[in-house]
């Protein structure tokens, strides 16, 4: 297992121009890659380091497949540019201008970054937090566009690619099986989906800009003067900004921990997020027109329903449960035709 000592941390901190000796450190996050493969040399360890006088810092140690130093450096540069543009985000330390640096510790090659620790992490979402998140995202989008920022990497929330909210592949790759059960329903869903995707694609050629790509609780904090800030650029990349805001808003409204539970919660959180965003970076009429189709596709092909949650389509197909599949497909069709208007107040 990858371990660090206070002596390792002291050496790294010194090289990053923090002269004081650390007094202690605590693990914030550890991915146990060696649970799956005991010989794995993959690492993601995030620690908080405290000093007597110097304010606390966060050190990230990484060695992950497909994550290069160049890549982490680009993510850090993006965060630094956002900060210059007025976005609250932790100060990132560097060695001679390089944020990401190679270390060999305890038999592991790791890439290290250091940033300030920020108090006030957001642990649960309510409408006020959702609105603030929307405002922050719009400010970040404005800075990214104005400063022409790019990370040149894929994101989790591009609806035209494999993404973390919805998945059409289970439906399309099982066409033969599903058509055998309900041919006309299958064809109907397929054709509605095709027509919606054509509409959503209208923004496909827009310039993509750098986005943080995971603006969710646990990556947000509220400062002492009640401003919202953001850390964790692990999933930053380039996206069409409209796709980013809608996908992130849906993500925030459906997959977070919430402060309360009431029937309109999801709708209200979504609405608060989008209204916050709109107050800084107004949506265009075309974006508002396309919104219902994107939401309908997200909802009909919800990733959990397709592959992970109880009664998901993949498992129904494996178990050959024709009646349940039929109900599932009816539900998909209903979600597709239930077009929700853009939820702006006033």
Ligand X SMILES: Nc1ncnc2c1ncn2[C@@H]1O[C@H](COP(=O)(O)OP(=O)(O)O)[C@@H](O)[C@H]1O
> Which listed option, Mg ion, ligand X, none, makes contact with residue 115 (CB within 5 to 8 Å by class)?
ligand X
Token representation of residue 243: 């796709």
Q: How far is the CB of 57 from ligand X (least distance, A)?
A: 8
> Which listed option, ligand X, Mg ion, none, makes contact with residue 315 (CB within 5 to 8 Å by class)?
none
209: CB partners within 8 A, 6+ apart: 141, 144, 145, 148, 149, 150, 238, 239, 241
Residue (73 or 232) nearer to ligand X, CB: 232
Q: Alpha-carbon torsion 186, 188, 192, 198, what sign?
A: positive
Long-range contacts of 322-331 (CB under 8 A, 24+ apart): 322/181, 325/178, 325/181, 325/182, 326/181, 326/182, 326/185, 329/178, 329/181, 329/182, 329/185, 329/186, 329/189, 330/185
User: Pattern of binders to ligand X over 256-295, x per CB under 6 A?
Assistant: ----------------------------------------
Q: How far is the CB of 210 from Mg ion (least distance, A)?
A: 17
Q: How far is the CB of 250 from ligand X (least distance, A)?
A: 19
User: Pattern of binders to Mg ion over 224-243, x per CB under 5 A?
Assistant: --------x-----------
Considering the rule CB under 6 A, would residue 42 count as an interface residue with ligand X?
no
Residue (221 or 293) nearer to ligand X, CB: 221
Residue (181 or 218) nearer to ligand X, CB: 218
Q: Alpha-carbon torsion 237, 243, 244, 247, what sign?
A: negative
Distance between CA atoms of residues 24 and 13, nearest Å: 13
Distance between CA atoms of residues 290 and 283, nearest Å: 11
Query: Which residues in the 101-140 window bind ligand X by CB under 6 A?
Result: 115, 117-118, 121
Residue (23 or 55) nearer to ligand X, CB: 55
Look at residues 105, 112, 165 and name the one whose alpha carbon lies nearest to residue 302. Answer: 165
Local structure of residue 54 (DSSP, 8 states): S
178: CB partners within 8 A, 6+ apart: 171, 186, 317, 325, 329
Provide the 3-class DSSP secondary structure of residue 32: coil
Considering the rule CB under 6 A, would residue 219 count as an interface residue with ligand X?
yes
Considering the rule CB under 6 A, would residue 28 count as an interface residue with ligand X?
yes
Of the candidates 21, 95, 197, 218, which one interacts with ligand X according to CB under 6 A?
A: 218
Q: How far is the CB of 82 from ligand X (least distance, A)?
A: 14
> Which listed option, ligand X, Mg ion, none, makes contact with residue 46 (CB within 5 to 8 Å by class)?
ligand X
Q: Which positions touch ligand X (CB under 6 A)?
A: 28-29, 46, 58, 90, 115, 117-118, 121, 218-219, 231-232, 234
Q: Which positions touch Mg ion (CB under 5 A)?
A: 219, 232
């Amino acid at each position: 297992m990858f371990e660090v000592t206070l002596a390792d941390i002291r050496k790294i901190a010194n090289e990053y121009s923090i002269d004081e000796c650390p007094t202690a450190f605590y693990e914030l996050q550890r991915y146990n890659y060696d649970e799956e493969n005991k010989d794995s040399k993959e690492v993601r360890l995030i620690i908080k380091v405290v000093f007597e006088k110097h304010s606390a810092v966060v050190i990230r140690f990484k060695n992950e497949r497909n994550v290069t130093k160049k890549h982490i450096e680009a993510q850090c540069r993006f965060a630094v540019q956002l900060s210059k543009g007025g976005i609250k985000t932790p100060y990132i330390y560097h060695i001679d201008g390089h944020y990401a640096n190679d270390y060999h510790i305890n038999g592991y090659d790791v890439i290290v970054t250091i940033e300030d620790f920020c108090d006030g992490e957001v642990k649960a979402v309510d409408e006020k937090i959702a609105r603030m998140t929307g405002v922050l995202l719009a400010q970040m989008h404005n800075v990214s566009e104005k400063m022409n920022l790019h990370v040149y990497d894929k994101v989790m929330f591009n609806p035209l690619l494999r993404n973390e909210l919805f998945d059409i592949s289970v439906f399309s790759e099982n066409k033969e099986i599903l058509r055998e059960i309900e041919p006309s329903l299958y064809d109907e869903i397929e054709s509605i989906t095709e027509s919606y995707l054509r509409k959503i694609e209208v923004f496909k050629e827009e310039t993509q800009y750098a986005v943080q790509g995971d603006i969710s609780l646990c990556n947000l904090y509220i400062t002492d003067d009640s401003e919202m800030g953001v850390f964790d650029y692990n999933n930053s990349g380039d996206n069409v900004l409209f796709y980013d805001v809608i996908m992130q808003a849906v993500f925030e409204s459906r997959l977070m921990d919430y402060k309360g539970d009431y029937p309109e919660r999801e709708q209200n959180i979504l609405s608060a997020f989008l209204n916050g965003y709109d107050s800084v970076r107004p949506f265009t009429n075309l974006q508002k027109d396309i919104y219902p189709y994107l939401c309908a596709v997200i909802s009909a092909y919800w990733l959990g329903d397709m592959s992970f949650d109880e009664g998901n389509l993949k498992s129904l197909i494996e178990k050959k449960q024709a009646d349940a599949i039929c109900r599932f497909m009816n539900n998909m069709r209903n979600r597709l035709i239930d077009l929700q208007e853009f939820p702006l107040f006033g």
